[in-house]
Amino acid sequence: MGVHEEELPEEVRESVEEAWPLFVDFLKKKEARVTQARKIILTQVFSRHDHFCADDLAAELSSGMNHVSRGTVYRTLALMEEAGLVRVIRDTDVHAHYEHTFNHPNHEHMICDTCGQFIEFSDDRITALVEEACERHHFAERTHRIVVFGTCEQCMQKK
Amino acid sequence: MGVHEEELPEEVRESVEEAWPLFVDFLKKKEARVTQARKIILTQVFSRHDHFCADDLAAELSSGMNHVSRGTVYRTLALMEEAGLVRVIRDTDVHAHYEHTFNHPNHEHMICDTCGQFIEFSDDRITALVEEACERHHFAERTHRIVVFGTCEQCMQKK
DNA sequence: ATTACTGCAAAGCATTTGCAAATGC
DNA sequence: GCATTTGCAAATGCTTTGCAGTAAT
């Protein structure tokens, strides 16, 4: 497990030292292996990134002494998401999904992880709070999107 | 402009009859052209779809008498979105964006259309309302994501 | 020893694009 | 007639996958 990490700034090392054991636990519960590549990736994730994309991360790790291949980066990021250490802000689903908005008041969506069903919901209070947040940040809203992921009632009952 | 539409159900024809003039206005303002293909696509969008993906739509229009090519479907869907007649629920950005969640309380994002900057914000009241909506729909939330698109303060000033 | 993981390069696949022909204005 | 659109097919580019070698248990 000889990962080169001597030049890490203090705060990064601290984050890694807290996050890594969590990932190790997760992997052991899953009977997956604690590997060098996984530690390198976790370290890089907690290093210089606020928001980053998978491909940039892969590029950063494609050379240098802590080399990890693209495929492994993608595979590990998926694991880290499952472990709750990383969050997808903007996901690339296979398809872009649309709906027509004509005669269709603003509403948001819940998507069932199991059956893929879209459930529509709306709440004016949420809309108002989002607007309020935009004002606070002097941000001119064009549109917003709220998606909740989880399990729908029917799929819940089947379990 | 000979679009075959004799077999459309009543309600679809009504929607099309209301939406099409809006699209025409939009196109004229933009000095773009009012074409047969654009009407076929709009009609199809308002026909049998609640939620649909670009590719399925393209597939449906790839044969039959109202034939439109894949490329045109993608191009027109973008125009319809610009016109506000269609909404993207789940977008395929070029990259998937991540962030690490460790020591990072739950928060949402605003993304600037102009500079691409991510602005973080959070509001517990929104979170609570989303949870409430899930209870109402008996939906077991795993996670949710709120993204606001628009223009940030700095880019606003430059205009 | 056994089995999972990694690296590599090739495959996948939705979307985009270039260009000649067709169509709207 | 002129400029924009379309259709087609090829290109693009992120992501996934197969497989043989390597590392973890």
Structural domains of chain B ordered from first start: 1-104 (1.10.10.10), 105-159 (3.30.1490.190)
> Which pTM was predicted?
0.79
Q: Which two tokens stand for residue B153?
A: 């303060």
What pLDDT, on the 0 to 100 scale, is given for residue A90? 62
Mutate to test the interface with B, among A56, A97, A157 (most CBs of B within 10 A): A97
- Cβ < 7 Å from nucleic strand D: A 1, 33-36, 53-55, 70-71, 74-75, 78, 92; B 27, 32-33, 35, 37-38, 67-72, 75-76, 94-96
- pLDDT, one tens digit per residue, over B99-116 is 777 767 778 889 887 887
Interface check A86 vs B, CB under 8 A: yes
Nearest Cβ partner for B148 among A95, A119, A141? A141
What pLDDT, on the 0 to 100 scale, is given for residue B67? 94
The phi, psi pair for A90, rounded to 5°, reads -130, 110
Residue nearest to nucleotide C6 (CA to C1'): A72
Band the pLDDT of A53: cuts 50, 70, 90: confident
Query: Of all nucleotides in the shown strands, which has a C1' nearest the CA of A41?
Result: C6
What pLDDT, on the 0 to 100 scale, is given for residue B40? 96
Taking alpha carbons only, the member of B147, B83, B90, B85 closest to residue B113 is B147
What pLDDT, on the 0 to 100 scale, is given for residue B76? 96
What pLDDT, on the 0 to 100 scale, is given for residue A95? 59
d(CA A63, CA B77): 40
d(CA A78, CA A82): 6
Beta strands B108-112 and B140-151, pairing class: parallel
Lowest mean pLDDT among A10-24, A100-114, A137-151, B43-57: A100-114
- pLDDT, one tens digit per residue, over A90-135 is 655 555 677 777 767 778 889 887 887 888 899 999 999 999 999 9
Residue of B nearest to A11 (CA): B103
| Amino acid in the structure at residue A154 | Q
Average per-residue pLDDT for chain A: 87
> pLDDT exceeding 90 applies to what percent of chain A?
48
B4 CA – D7 C1', rounded, Å: 20
Residue-level pLDDT, tens digit, chain B, 159 residues:
556 656 788 888 888 999 999 999 999 999 999 999 999 999 999 987 778 888 889 999 998 888 999 999 999 999 998 998 998 876 555 556 677 777 677 788 898 878 878 888 999 999 999 999 999 999 999 888 888 888 999 999 987
Residue of B nearest to A109 (CA): B89
- pLDDT, one tens digit per residue, over A33-47 is 999 999 999 999 998
Beta strands B97-100 and A108-112, pairing class: unpaired
Residue of A nearest to B84 (CA): A101
Which residue did the predictor score with more confidence, B82 or A88? B82
Beta carbons within 10 angstroms of residue B47's beta carbon: 19
Span A1-27, average pLDDT:
83
3-class DSSP string for chain B: CCCCCCCCCHHHHHHHHHHHHHHHHHHHHCCCCCCHHHHHHHHHHCCCCCCEEHHHHHHHCCCCCCCCCHHHHHHHHHHHHHCCCEEEEECCCCCCEEEECCCCCCCEEEEECCCCCEEEECCHHHHHHHHHHHHHCCCEEEEEEEEEEEECHHHHHHC
User: Which of A 2-41 lie inside 8 A of B, CB atoms?
Assistant: 15, 18-19, 22
